[in-house]
Chain A
Amino acid sequence: MSSENGKRLLETDAGCLNFEATELTLGLPGEPRVTSDGGAKLGSKRGFSETVDLKLGDNSQEVKLGHSLQEAAKSPASKTQVVGWPPVRGFAKRGKKSCKYVKVAVDGAPYLRKVDLEIYNSYQQLLTSLEDMFSCFTIRNYLNEKQIDQVNGIEYMPTYEDKDGDWMLVGDVPWQMFVESCKRLRLMKSSEAVGLGLKTAPKYSSTN
């Protein structure tokens, strides 16, 4: 997907949406929204608190929209890609040659999943994907629970184990650093995640 496609999508959407308002940006409130390469690469992300409040099984429209905007503008394509260069066999045929798989555990779920962190470009994409992955579980969970909270769903805090063995909150560090250091993911029930110092808003740059 080239950034040209992305631009086209944004242009047609501008007529029916207030694009500025829905554009997701990374960083603290009040920071400028300009990305380092002039917008060719949409490095915008949600603010931290929005990212972390994962509502599994909840069809939040905002989340879906943000996801599709991100998808459309995913690849940087700062140089036009030349056919067959570099000459790596199988890449074009089979898609990404390598991957970074980590196990994902969800508290209360009987099964593990695994995700390939390499296919995502941002926390938003990852978390949206996890929502999709576990929504049917959550629905089943709804059926099992006597008390069903229809409005908010069950809240989970996404946490991960880094290469030093520490459990951290997802969103603490820049995306690429997270991909490199994450060994496994765990979606912890919010009620249990008290001790991880959630309330501090972390600082990270506006680039990917």
Chain B
Amino acid sequence: MSEDDERQQSPPSDLEFVSNKARNCNATGSGSGHPEFQSTYPDQVLENVLENVLHFLTSRRDRNAASLVCKSWYRVEALTRSELFIGNCYAVSPGRATARFTRVKALHLKGKPRFADFNLMPPDWGAHFNPWALAMAKAYPWLEKVHLKRMSVTDDDLATLAELFLGFKELVLVCCDGFGTSGLAIFVNKCRQLKVLDLIESEVSDDEMDWISCFPEGESNLESLIFDCVECHINFEALERLVARSPSLKKLKLNRYVSIGQLYRLMVRAPQLTHLGTGSFSPSDIAGQGDQEPDYVAAFAACRSLVCLSGFREIIPDYLPAIYPVCANLTSLNFSYANITAEQLKPIISKCHKLQTFWVLDSICDEGLQAVAATCKDLRELRVFPVDPREDSDGPVSEVGLQAISEGCRKLQSILYFCQRMTNAAVIAMSKNCPDLVVFRLCIMGRHRADPVTGEPMDDGFGAIVMNCKKLTRLAVSGLLTDKAFDYIGRHGKLVRTLSVAFAGDSDMALKYVLEGCPQLQKLEIRDSPFGDAALRSGLHHYYNMRFLWMSSCRLTRHGCQEIARAMPRLVVEVIRSADEEEMDDVVGTLYMYRSLEGPRTDAPKFVTIL
């Protein structure tokens, strides 16, 4: 499952705002004399000790802090950082990153902002992996792991990874695009040490290349193979042989072109799996009418280590009972592609006592959620997706389901809930019943919808969330909201790092409250809300602390954005035009701005103007 977890960055590693104090300090403390002569022996010992100690420091937040102590610590920390995380690929150039950190083994890079997922950004905006691939090839030939999110990756890039990094072991692509099965074929063929290939919610073009057959013969080191998002047929016989020769395989997530009969054959070969994505979970078209079906229950029963189950891409609910044997051990269950009813869910969920993560479609209705609340006392994360994601569709889940969850699942930490109706009362109840909430994302699909019982805006509900959930770091709001809701957020949302706003607020004051009140705010994404240049100005003191600000279809003018760009030289201010906009319009369609050490990027397409 794709996780959006964000670890706090304080101070940021993607920006070298080293204070003057740190610059002037060195290990010996002396500022005069012959530095080379004086500083050898004691310096060296200290640095060696430091190097050994810092090897134990894994958290990037801690490392960032350590690097600011003094020049010596900065140097040693840079030498010992093996995992490099860059939250915005445009905040720092590959050259600068490789110059500072010389011994990196793992790279974690993020590109486009999240709203790009919802067609709010034209294609070919940027976030190309290519310059990074080339820079890494020169600087880190020993690189083992690459994790990319929302980046554009080409087939050539995949070839580069496989050919230029001899010990490459792990590739994870989340929400990426730009490559196809040809690239995968080269990659899996040349990458002899491959342990992990995880393609998660990425767009893979079908070049009709049988990439599964391209894994080299002989025993494979594969531990994880995730390709459920790949919308192409695969060579099943080749996959079966691959699984048979991968004794370390623990995670396998199949795409919807794998039938349940084929799933059976794979499960029988890999009972050691801990994570399974079941593929279609229905028979292929050519199943014979009178054929004997395999013993699916036995296959699941044999997988004693299974803790994470997903897939069910084209489920025929008749087959659901096959998973009964594993329910009691499951900590994670993803039914977000399975259009099943409450009645079909109940026999499953009633056995899932250990469940911590549950993703599901709203087809289970409030009744299904009540069943979840009754059994899953350990639930930490819940996501309820709409079967019919339109504003005016019927809403099978409502405040009733949310209330039930809040009462049954007290340990809840993260919730994403799509619905057509919601009351303040239910949201307030959740704020009180689930004090551990870290992520609260409520999407009332009808825009500007008020509380259906009281007729009031949803201000008080979200207000209660920020007031009562003291650990809250991520918030997404919806429904009819006035400036008051944002006043609450500014006053109480002191730990909020990510905020998503759509079709909300009355005036500039709303944005002002947030920008002035939330010191930890790093990612702010706003669409279709009445905020203008004055509101934008109120964040000048804070923008260098943020990863990015996105504002689309608001009330910004080019003039106002220009002002910001002039006032803040280390901010890249991009104005993105949609197809029908004129170049010199004063009204800004989309503003995307982010801090950067590099100034305006050179790869911007023509619909992007950097002010």
Contacts and interface: CB of A to CB of B under 8 A. Distances in A.
Interface string B375-400: 00000000001110111100000000
B392 to A, nearest CB: 5
B339 A118 contact: yes
Given A94-B231, A112-B283, A88 B386 contact: yes
B315 A112 contact: no
Interface stretch (B214-222, B284-292, B323-331, B479-487): B284-292
Interface string B305-336: 00000000011111000000000000000001
Given A103-B316, A112-B283, A114-B282, A81 B288 contact: no
A54 interface: no
A116 B314 contact: yes
Contact of B316 (A86, A90, A94, A102): A102
A195 B243 CA distance: 50
B118 A98 contact: no
B443 interface: yes
B289 A112 contact: yes
B36 to A, nearest CB: 56
B576 interface: no
B537 interface: no
Given A88-B385, A89-B201, A93-B203, A183 B318 contact: yes
Interface string A74-108: 00101101111111111111100111111101000
Residue with the highest number of chain B CB atoms closer than 10 Å, among A84, A85, A112, A183: A85
B475 interface: no
Nearest to A88: B389
B118 A85 contact: yes
Given A88-B418, A114-B282, A114-B314, A83 B119 contact: yes
B447 interface: yes
B437 to A, nearest CB: 20
A92 B314 contact: no
A98 B334 CA distance: 13
A29 interface: no
Residue with the highest number of chain A CB atoms closer than 10 Å, among B117, B337, B445, B528: B117
A98 B361 contact: yes
B442 to A, nearest CB: 11
B120 interface: yes
Contact of A97 (B289, B387, B447): B387
Contact of A101 (B117, B315, B443): B315
B339 A100 contact: yes
A114 B285 contact: yes
Given A112-B285, A113-B285, A114-B283, A84 B119 contact: yes
B447 A85 contact: yes
Contacts of A93: 203
A186 to B, nearest CB: 10
Contact of B391 (A86, A90, A91, A109): A86
A110 interface: yes
B363 interface: yes
Contacts of B231: 94
A121 to B, nearest CB: 12
Given A79-B391, A81-B390, A114-B316, A101 B120 contact: no
B180 to A, nearest CB: 15
Chain B binding surface SS class: loop
A35 to B, nearest CB: 16
A133 to B, nearest CB: 10
Contacts of A87: 115, 117-118, 443, 502
B303 to A, nearest CB: 24
Given A84-B118, A86-B418, A94-B231, A111 B282 contact: no
B338 interface: yes
A82 B447 contact: yes
Contacts of A118: 339
Residue with the highest number of chain A CB atoms closer than 10 Å, among B175, B201, B390, B392: B390
Contacts of B336: 97
Interface string B492-510: 0000000000110000000
Interface string B108-119: 000000010111
Contacts of A88: 118, 385-386, 389, 418
Interface in B390-422: 390-392, 418
Contacts of A163: 343
Given A87-B502, A94-B231, A110 B391 contact: no
Contacts of B391: 79, 81-82, 85-86
A101 B282 contact: yes
A86 B389 contact: yes
B289 A109 contact: yes
Nearest to B290: A110
Interface string B345-367: 00000000000000001010000
Contacts of B339: 98-100, 118
A53 B117 CA distance: 46
B577 to A, nearest CB: 15
A85 B502 contact: yes
A89 B387 CA distance: 12
Nearest to B316: A101
A85 B119 CA distance: 9
Interface in B74-91: none
Contacts of B390: 81, 86
Contact of A84 (B120, B288, B392): B120
Interface in B45-72: none
A92 B119 contact: yes
B607 to A, nearest CB: 16
A162 to B, nearest CB: 13
B79 to A, nearest CB: 39
A201 B117 CA distance: 49
Contacts of B418: 86, 88
Closest 5 CB pairs of A and B: A84-B118, A98-B339, A88-B389, A86-B445, A89-B117
Given A97-B387, A97-B389, 9 more contacts: A86-B445, A88-B389, A98-B339, A103-B316, A111-B287, A114-B283, A116-B314, A180-B341, A183-B318
7 contacts: A82-B447, A86-B390, A87-B118, A89-B118, A101-B314, A111-B285, A112-B283
